[in-house]
C-alpha cells in the first residue's frame, strides 16, 4: 500500500525536474489534490506559476487544459456552447476546456465578472449546464488559478463568492539565491527543456482519498478549528469606543471544512495517522487569507489578512491532546 511520504516524494522529484524550489507551495498543491479543493496562486510575473501547475498535471498523469483569461473572453470559451448542425437541423453541445481533470485558469483576474461566474457552478457543483442539459465534469477535477498582485489596470477583482470556493490562496515568492543559480545553469540554454513523465494517475488519487478519510481528527482538534474560524467573525463585530475595527467580515463555514479536510490530507502526506494542532496552525493562513475582509482602517495601517490570522492563532488556546 502506498504511503503519503512515498507518493509525495515521487511527485516532488518529477515536478522538481521543471521547477526548482517552491517546496511549500508544491506540498500545498498536493494537499489540495487530496482534499478535492481548488487553489488560487498569487505572485509576481515570472515565478513559474503556470509551469508549476502544468508540471503537476504531467507528473500526475491527468488531462490538463489551460485557459488564458483576457478581457474579451466569453463564458462559452470556458464551459462550451451549443453548435447548430445544418445536416440534421439540431444543436449539439460543444464542450469547452473546463472538461478536463486539471484546469489552469491563467491570470483569472483579467476576465470580466461574466466569465468568472461561469466557473462558479463548475468549481462548486463539478458540473456544467449546456442547452438545459447538465454535464458532469470528469473525476478528479481541479481548478488552479493564477493572478498577478501588482497590475491593476485591465483587471477585475474576484468576487468574494468565488474566492471563497478556493481551498487555498497561496503566495508564490521569489526563489532563493541557490535555486535561481541552479535555474540558470540548468535551463539557461535554449535547447534544454524538461521532460516529465507520469508517476501517478487520477485513479490512484481517487483511491488515496479513502486513506486520507481514515486520518483521525480528535474532538478537541475539531473544536480548535471552529475556535479559530469563529474568532475571525468575532473581530468583525463593532469595536468598542476608541478602538479601530480591522475586519469587515470573518471566514465562512467553508473555512472550517477546508481546515478539516486539508489538515487530514497534510497529515497523511507526512505519514501521520492523526491531525495535530500544529498542522491547523500551519494551514490557517493559506485557508483563511482570502476569506477575511479588511476594513479601510486596516489597510491604512498596513495590516494584512495574515497579520489578523497570526493574531487569532496566538490568542486561541491550543488543545493539549490530539488523540
Per CATH, the number for 214-315 is: 1.10.8.80
* Mean per-residue pLDDT, 121-134: 82
Whether the predicted pLDDT of 154 surpasses 80: no
pLDDT score, position 180:
83
* Mean per-residue pLDDT, 229-258: 84
Q: What is the pLDDT of residues 81-102, one digit of tens each?
A: 878 778 777 777 788 889 988 9
- What band does 28 get if pLDDT is binned at 50, 70 and 90? very high
**Averaged confidence pLDDT in the chain:** 86
- What band does 241 get if pLDDT is binned at 50, 70 and 90? low
Whether the predicted pLDDT of 11 surpasses 80: yes
pLDDT score, position 159:
79
* Mean per-residue pLDDT, 260-265: 95
* Mean per-residue pLDDT, 4-23: 87
C-alpha separations of 34 from 28, 61, 210, 268, 280 in Å:
10, 15, 10, 9, 16
Closest C-alpha among 294, 291, 293 to residue 302? 294
Q: How far apart are CA 115 and CA 75, in angstroms?
A: 5
Q: What is the pLDDT of residues 42-69, one digit of tens each?
A: 888 778 788 888 888 889 888 888 888 8
- The more confidently predicted of residues 85 and 108 is 108
- What band does 189 get if pLDDT is binned at 50, 70 and 90? low
Q: How far apart are CA 166 and CA 181, in angstroms?
A: 33
Q: For residues 66 and 104, is the Cβ–Cβ distance under 8 A?
A: yes
Domain boundaries, the chain: 4-188+199-206, 214-315
pLDDT score, position 190:
62
Helix (H), strand (E) counts: the chain: 13, 11
In terms of pTM, does the model score above 0.95?
Answer: no
CATH architecture for residues 4-188+199-206: 3-Layer(aba) Sandwich (3.40)
Hunting for cell 539557461 — which residue is that?
188
Amino acid at each position: 500500500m502506498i504511503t503519503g511520504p512515498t507518493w509525495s516524494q515521487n511527485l516532488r522529484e518529477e515536478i522538481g525536474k521543471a521547477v526548482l524550489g517552491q517546496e511549500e507551495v508544491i506540498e500545498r498543491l498536493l494537499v489540495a489534490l487530496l482534499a478535492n479543493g481548488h487553489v488560487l496562486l498569487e505572485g509576481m510575473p515570472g515565478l513559474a506559476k503556470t509551469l508549476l501547475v502544468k508540471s503537476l498535471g504531467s507528473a500526475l498523469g491527468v488531462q490538463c487544459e489551460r485557459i488564458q483569461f483576457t478581457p474579451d473572453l466569453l463564458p462559452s470559451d470556458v464551459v462550451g456552447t451549443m453548435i447548430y448542425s445544418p445536416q440534421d437541423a439540431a444543436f449539439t453541445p460543444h464542450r469547452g476546456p473546463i472538461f478536463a481533470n486539471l484546469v489552469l485558469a491563467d491570470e483569472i483576474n483579467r476576465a470580466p465578472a461574466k466569465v468568472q461566474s461561469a466557473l462558479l457552478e463548475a468549481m462548486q457543483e463539478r458540473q456544467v449546464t449546456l442547452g438545459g442539459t447538465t454535464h458532469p465534469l470528469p473525476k478528479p477535477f481541479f481548478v488552479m488559478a493564477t493572478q498577478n498582485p501588482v497590475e491593476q489596470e485591465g483587471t477585475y477583482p474576484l468576487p468574494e463568492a468565488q474566492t471563497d470556493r478556493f481551498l487555498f490562496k497561496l503566495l508564490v515568492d521569489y526563489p532563493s539565491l541557490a535555486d535561481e543559480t541552479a535555474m540558470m545553469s540548468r535551463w539557461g540554454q535554449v535547447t534544454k527543456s524538461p521532460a516529465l513523465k507520469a508517476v501517478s494517475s487520477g485513479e490512484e488519487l481517487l483511491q488515496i482519498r479513502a486513506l486520507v478519510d481514515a486520518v483521525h481528527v480528535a474532538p478537541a482538534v475539531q473544536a480548535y478549528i471552529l475556535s479559530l474560524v469563529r474568532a475571525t467573525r468575532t473581530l468583525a463585530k463593532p469595536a468598542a469606543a476608541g478602538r479601530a475595527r480591522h475586519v469587515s467580515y470573518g471566514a465562512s463555514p467553508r473555512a472550517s471544512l477546508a481546515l478539516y479536510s486539508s489538515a487530514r490530507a497534510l497529515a497523511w502526506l507526512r505519514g501521520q495517522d492523526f491531525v495535530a494542532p500544529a498542522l491547523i496552525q500551519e494551514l490557517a493562513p493559506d485557508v483563511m487569507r482570502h476569506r477575511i475582509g479588511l476594513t479601510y482602517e486596516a489597510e491604512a495601517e498596513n495590516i494584512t489578512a495574515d497579520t489578523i490570522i497570526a493574531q487569532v492563532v496566538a490568542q486561541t488556546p491550543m488543545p493539549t491532546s490530539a488523540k
